């Protein structure tokens, strides 16, 4: 599957949240993400990602392992994505590091998720706050089967962003990993998990 996704800066998160609440139910989650790379940083160089994510809601905690290949769409940076639920974070972390992978960065995302159905597609709109960053974000994504379906999926994503009155100029392809690493570097902090 390919994740057809756009991310944008949000200037007025509460206004956007109210619009999303009119469209669907909200699920509040905390994502505790750890990104891994080979010592030569080949994943980063090739724009691939390997992420171990712990998702916490009021009711559940689950651990997901996600691998994203290099982008298939340069403008949106949409990537093929493979994800599976795994046992515990500590066990999976031990396995990945034993295989020779190293930490790239770890951080939290505080998310308000809205699962929507638009034109027969499942669409996820997520308001995101990364406590280390000043900016607030929205991610809108839908899964598509192949590269030929990326543009129709992105059209639905763009239409929803327009309906939420997100300015086209606020769309960004900068990654959270890059933003967090830059912020920590500016503060003189090491980019490894605590």
The band of 36, judged by pLDDT with boundaries at 50, 70 and 90, is: very high
Report, in angstroms and rounded to the nearest whole number, the Rg of the chain calculated over CA atoms.
17
Q: How many residues belong to the chain?
A: 194
- β-partners of residue 144 are 2
As given in the structure block, the two tokens for residue 39 are 């010592």
Q: Is the whole model's pTM more than 0.95, yes or no?
A: no
Average per-residue pLDDT in the chain? 94
Cβ proximity of 7 and 173 under 8 Å: yes
The CATH number of 2-186 is: 2.40.320.10
Residue 190: band (very low, low, confident or very high) from pLDDT cuts 50, 70, 90 = low
Q: Judge contact between 83 and 1, C-beta under 8 A.
A: no
Q: Could you tell me which of 44, 9, 7, 17 has the C-alpha nearest to residue 112?
A: 17
The predicted-structure confidence for 76-114, as pLDDT tens digits, reads as follows 999 999 999 999 999 999 999 999 999 999 999 999 999
Question: Could you tell me the CA-to-CA distances from 123 to 4, 20, 23, 47, 107 in Å, in that order?
Answer: 10, 12, 11, 24, 25
pLDDT at 189: 74
Contacts of 53 (CB under 8 A, 6+ apart): 31, 32, 33, 34, 63, 64, 65, 66
Number of H helices, E strands in the chain: 5, 9
Confidence at residue 194, expressed as pLDDT on a 0 to 100 scale: 40
| pLDDT tens, position by position, 40-87 | 999 999 999 999 999 999 999 999 999 999 999 988 999 999 999 999
Q: What tokens does 101 get? A: 């992978």
Q: Percentage of the chain surpassing pLDDT 70?
A: 97
Between CA 74 and CA 97 the distance in angstroms is 31
Confidence label for 22 from pLDDT (cuts 50, 70 and 90): very high
Among residues 112, 116, 54, 58, which one has the least CA distance to residue 85? 54
């Amino acid at each position: 599957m390919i994740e057809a996704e756009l991310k944008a800066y949000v200037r007025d998160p509460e206004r956007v949240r109210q619009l999303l609440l009119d469209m669907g139910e909200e699920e509040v989650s905390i994502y505790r993400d750890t990104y891994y790379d080979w010592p030569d940083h080949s994943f980063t160089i090739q724009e691939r990602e390997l992420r171990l994510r712990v998702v916490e809601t009021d009711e559940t905690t689950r651990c997901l392992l996600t691998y994203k290949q290099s982008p298939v769409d340069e403008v949106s940076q949409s990537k093929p994505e493979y994800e599976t639920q795994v046992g515990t974070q500590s066990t999976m972390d031990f396995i990945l590091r034993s295989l020779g992978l190293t930490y790239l960065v770890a951080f939290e995302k505080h998310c308000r998720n809205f699962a929507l159905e638009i034109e027969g597609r499942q669409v996820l709109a997520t308001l995101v706050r990364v406590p280390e960053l000043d900016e607030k974000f929205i991610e809108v994504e839908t899964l598509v089967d192949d590269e030929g379906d990326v543009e129709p999926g992105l059209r639905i994503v763009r239409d929803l962003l327009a309906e939420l009155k997100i300015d086209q100029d606020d769309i960004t392809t900068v990654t959270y990993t890059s933003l967090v690493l830059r912020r920590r570097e500016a503060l003189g902090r090491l980019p490894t998990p605590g």
